[in-house]
Structure 1
Amino acid sequence: MKPVRTKPVRTKPAPDTLTYPESGATRHGPLPRGYHHLHHRTRIGRGRPVFEAAGTAVTTWALHRRSGVLMRTRAPRAEAQVTIEVGLGAGPLRIKAPCRVVWTAYERDRTGFAYGTLTGHPECGEESFMVELAEDGTVWFTVMAFSRPGSWYTRLAGPLVPVLQRVYARWLGRTLRRITATP
């Protein structure tokens, strides 16, 4: 009797599966090896009212939306396990990037969250958005991320992707400064 050969069954990951194993690494660090790292910090202003306004803008998606990013979610604010579809670009060139909130911080002097990439996201990794009130009253906004290409077109874009991520982090900082300066 001949042995029966079977083909391996390839299964697609579930659409709500994180595409990386280091979930939560942006919360306390260190950021994992094998990824591009981003750490950008922007001074937003001074005082508790600025901190509270900035924290609200970050955790209610207002910062991203005011920055021109489409944020589709049913959740009114960032909470662990909330899924989001981030949309960049316009019309037929819009890139859809599914994410899930992996941690949140709603503390006296720190507010923010991180989301991780889900199956179908063009990148693989995690990005956090944190507002902090320093002891001297300065309000800081920090974007921290680790990522690597997750699709053919981000691999093709190569070194351009980290540059675009830095530009985006700076844009978020400037937008948050404008939001908190508005009376």
Structure 2
Amino acid sequence: MRRGTFRDETVDYAAVGATQAPDLLQYPPEKSIPAEESWKLGSGEERFRSAGDALLSWSALRDGGISIAEVRPASDPSYSGVSFDDEGQPIAPSRLDADQRFDADGTPYVAAGSSVHVRGRIGGYRVDAELRVIFVVEEKRRIGFALGTVRDSVVSGEESFMIEWRGDDEVWFTVRAFDRPVAPLYRLLPALVRRRRRELFSRYLRAISPMYTTPA
């Protein structure tokens, strides 16, 4: 794994944490295009734990065809990120000062405040940007995180990945996002933003779900 030297920058959008707002699809941040998809992954605690571990080790991105080029921990090791309740209201973080974990190739697990550079080409759409982990959730029945753009992306915004073990024992994977076009072509043709997002969502599902099948 290659570790780079990131500049300590904030994200390039104002509505930090807005992927957790219950009315995101109706009232997205200004000039942004919202999106949400949910998929059933199976049932039971074992499925929940294994999917959660895969998610926090970047599998949704890496196994979806996006390379994790660089990872840098938060500059403040006590940083715990932004956390929200089911109504989208800020609350105290569910986990403080988590021990840093690493996967088999030495890449750090997702951690609040860390930065990552992603690269790839998904269905003809370029992915090349610096992102920041806005928050990480590790609870008894919810595991997930959100990424926000820092710079260089063709869109500006945030996406969240959440795995939930529901009361009926079903395990669901939900991805939410809002994208504001930045690159000239995307500003001219907003439909490209929606197509790019659909392709990304499909790749994330393919990476996490054991039951995924490619549509005919």
Partner of 1:171: 203
Query: What is the aligned counterpart of 2:133 among 101, 121, 127?
Result: 101
Contact map agreement 2:38 2:172 (CA 8 A) in 1: yes
Q: Which runs of 5+ in 2 are unaligned?
A: 1-6, 72-106
Query: What is the aligned counterpart of 1:87 among 91, 99, 119?
Result: 119
Contact map agreement 2:155 2:182 (CA 8 A) in 1: yes
Give CA-to-partner distance per residue, 1:23-79, whole Å, 9 cap, x none.
Answer: 011134433342111010011111111111111111111221111111123361111
Q: What residue identity is the alignment partner of 1:37?
A: P
Q: Which runs of 5+ in 1 are unaligned?
A: 1-13
Give CA-to-partner distance per residue, 1:147-172, whole Å, 9 cap, x none.
Answer: 11122232244212212212321231
Deviation at 1:130, TM superposition (A): 0.5
Contact map agreement 1:42 1:170 (CA 8 A) in 2: no
Q: Distance in 1 between the 2:178 and 2:49 partners?
A: 27
Q: Could you say if the C-alpha distance between residues 94 and 25 of structure 1 is closer, same or farther in structure 2, counting changes exceeding 3 Å?
A: closer
Structure showing the higher helix proportion among its residues: 1
Q: What residue identity is the alignment partner of 2:23?
A: P
Between the aligned residues of both structures, percent identity stands at 32
Q: Distance in 2 between the 1:39 and 1:25 partners?
A: 13
Partner of 1:67: 64
Deviation at 1:94, TM superposition (A): 5.5
Q: Would you say 1:158 and 2:190 are equivalent positions? A: yes
Contact map agreement 2:163 2:174 (CA 8 A) in 1: yes
TM-score normalized by the length of structure 1: 0.81
Q: Would you say 1:53 and 2:60 are equivalent positions? A: no
CA RMSD of aligned residues (A): 2.3
Q: Distance in 1 between the 2:29 and 2:126 partners?
A: 30
Partner of 2:164: 132
TM-score normalized by the length of structure 2: 0.69
Deviation at 1:179, TM superposition (A): 8.7
Contact map agreement 2:56 2:144 (CA 8 A) in 1: yes
- Mapping for residues 13-24 of structure 1, pairs under 5 Å: 16-24=9-17
Q: Distance in 2 between the 1:97 and 1:157 partners?
A: 20
Q: What residue identity is the alignment partner of 1:148?
A: R
Question: Residue 49 of structure 2: SS of its match in structure 1?
Answer: helix
Superposed structure 1 runs of 4+ greater than 3 Å apart: none
Question: Residue 73 of structure 1: SS of its match in structure 2?
Answer: strand
Q: Distance in 1 between the 2:191 and 2:21 partners?
A: 26
